[in-house]
Amino acid sequence: MDPRARRSALLLAAAFAFHEGVAAAQTSCDDEAVRAGNELRRSGNDDAALSEFRRAWEACHTPRARAQMALAEAALGRWIEADEHFGETLASGGDPWIERNRRSLEAVRAQVAEHIGYLEPRGGVPGAEVLIDGRPAGTMPLSGPLRAVAGTASVTVRAPGYLPITRSTVITAGQLVRESFEMVREPEVAPPAPPPAPPPVVRSEPPPPPPAPTRSPPPAPLAAPARPAVEVFRAPEFRAPSDSTGSLQRSLGWVAAGGALLALGGGVWALAARESALQDHNNPALACTVNDQRTVCYEALDTADGLQTLAIAGFVGGGALAVTSLVLFLTAPSSPRPTSSAGLGCGRGPGTVGLTCSLAF
């Protein structure tokens, strides 16, 4: 900030503090915030003082609070804001505090004006936005010149469908600078070409069926062995149970195991998604609280709660299916063993006299 303007602003702040002490009997709703802001300005903390004055303005909207904001902005070198707020303050008539300090306020505003020039952009298109040093300053067509800080300023004019124009302009304090902007439409982008058509499908004739295999004549039946004259005993054959039941049970076990893996995988995914939703809710940029009713806050909490329920269901269902698969595998019948039979037979021995017996397994 210019040393003269800062010195004048500090002296004026002290004078205003004196006037506030004289008028202490006239209590105003902004007294506390204005008094705290003046204390901060005396200690050189102009940023904190501006916050206090802004709080006083938002609470009471008094001309005195607006004037104190303008003084703090001037001390910080925010010339455009200070000039705007000085204009609003001095335009308000009938306020005793403003009338009592009008001459001093006008003197500080005159020093602020030494840092401000005027820019008049010409041309453009209706609705085009004008930015000075990256900050929005107005929309074309403008009702009057724009205020800008003296020095070299970056002026940008942009509009939908047109190429933006950025230009460096030298702003002189107290003088008007005119700049012309001829905007050019953006080149039209041709729509993408449609994808090529797929090649035609050529259906070939199915190959002829293979020739039927020739059947060889069945072998001649073997002659049954001679049955012994006397058969005393033959044990029945023992056959193992069919394996169809065990095969079906093992297949069901594999199906249950696959379902368990899918359910557990879904539970893991739901936990990861819940953590992401909680991170969105706890994002410092959103500043969400527990009972925050903003849509972006409570939607994130609702999503996290739903994902937690889904994760619990996935883990419980996966565990139940895993236990079912284990039981099916353990109780499935084993593969059949080779069948065996035993028998005892007796008959006439060689010759005409005698008896021969045999035991077979």
Residue 52 is part of a domain; what is its CATH number? 1.25.40.10
Tell me the C-alpha distance between 102 and 98, whole Å. 5
Q: Coil, strand or helix: which one is 46?
A: helix
Domain assignment of residue 299, yes or no:
yes
Q: Quick one: 79 and 141 in the same domain? A: no
Contact yes or no for 76/46 (Cβ under 8 A): yes
- The rounded distance, in Å, linking the Cα atoms of 212 and 13 is 114
Both tokens of 80, joined, read: 């455009």
pLDDT, residue 202, reads 67
Residue the block writes with tokens 């501006």: 50
Which three-class secondary structure state does DSSP give residue 291?
Answer: coil
Q: In the listed set 93, 113, 133, which residue is the last one of a domain according to the structure? A: 113
Among candidate residues 113, 131, 161, the one where a domain is terminated: 113
Residues 6+ apart with CB under 8 A from 338: none
CATH number at residue 174: 2.60.40.1120
Is 36 in the same domain as 108? yes
* pLDDT on residue 197: 79
Do 282 and 297 share a structural domain?
Answer: yes
Greatest Cα pair distance in the chain:
159
What pLDDT does residue 193 have?
79
Q: Is the pLDDT of residue 140 over 60?
A: yes
In whole angstroms, what is the distance from residue 127 CA to residue 57 CA?
32
Structural domain containing residue 171? 117-180
- Does residue 98 sit in the same domain as residue 152? no
Q: Do 126 and 98 belong to one domain?
A: no
Query: Which region among 12-26, 112-126, 206-220 has the lowest average model confidence (pLDDT)?
Result: 12-26
Same domain, 77 and 148: no
Question: To which H or E segment does residue 304 belong?
Answer: helix 295-331
Instruction: Give dist(CA 82, CA 115) in Å, integer.
Output: 11
DSSP letter assigned to residue 162: B
Residues 6+ apart with CB under 8 A from 154: 132, 133, 134, 166, 167, 168, 169
Residue of 27, 88, 26 whose CA lies nearest to 61: 88
Lowest mean pLDDT among 21-35, 249-263, 306-320: 21-35
Domain assignment present for 277 = yes
Tokens of 79: 């010339």
Tell me how far CA of residue 282 lies from CA of 19, 169, 285, 293, 302, in angstroms: 48, 44, 9, 14, 14
Average pLDDT over every residue of 83-109 = 89
Same domain, 316 and 259: yes
Element (H, E) at 345: strand 343-348
Highest mean pLDDT among 50-54, 194-198, 240-244, 334-338: 50-54
Find, among 13, 11, 59, the residue nearest to 33 by Cα: 59
Section 114-128 average pLDDT: 90
Q: Is residue 210 part of a domain?
A: no
Is 129 contained in some domain? yes
Q: Are residues 41 and 103 in the same domain?
A: yes
Name residue 29's amino acid: C
Cβ–Cβ under 8 Å, residues 85 and 69: yes
> What mean pLDDT is reported for the chain?
79
Q: How many folded domains does the chain comprise?
A: 3
Distance CA 198, CA 196 (A): 6
Q: What is the pLDDT of residues 3-62, one digit of tens each?
A: 555 545 544 554 454 445 434 434 578 888 899 899 999 998 999 999 989 998 998 889
Average pLDDT over residues 244-270: 87
40, 52 contact by CB (below 8 A):
yes
Q: Which helix (H) or strand (E) holds 81?
A: helix 79-91
Cα distance between residue 11 and residue 75, in whole Å: 11
* Strands annotated E in 134-276: 135-139, 146-149, 151-158, 165-171, 176-181, 230-234
Q: Say what the pLDDT of residue 304 is.
A: 83
Q: What is the pLDDT of residue 198?
A: 81
Among 66, 84, 113, which residue terminates a domain? 113
> Do 68 and 91 belong to one domain?
yes
Q: Are 83 and 109 in contact (CB under 8 A)?
A: yes
Which has the minimum average pLDDT: 73-87, 99-113, 134-148, 198-212? 198-212
pLDDT at 17: 47
The reply to whether 309 and 268 lie within a common domain is yes
Whether residue 151 is contained in a domain is answered as yes
pLDDT tens-digit readout, 281-311: 787 776 677 676 677 676 777 888 898 998 8
* Together in a domain, 272 and 293: yes
Per-residue pLDDT at 95 exceeds 90: no
Domain-located, residue 150? yes
Residues 84 and 105 in one domain: yes
Domain presence at residue 65: yes
Residue 4 lies in a domain: no
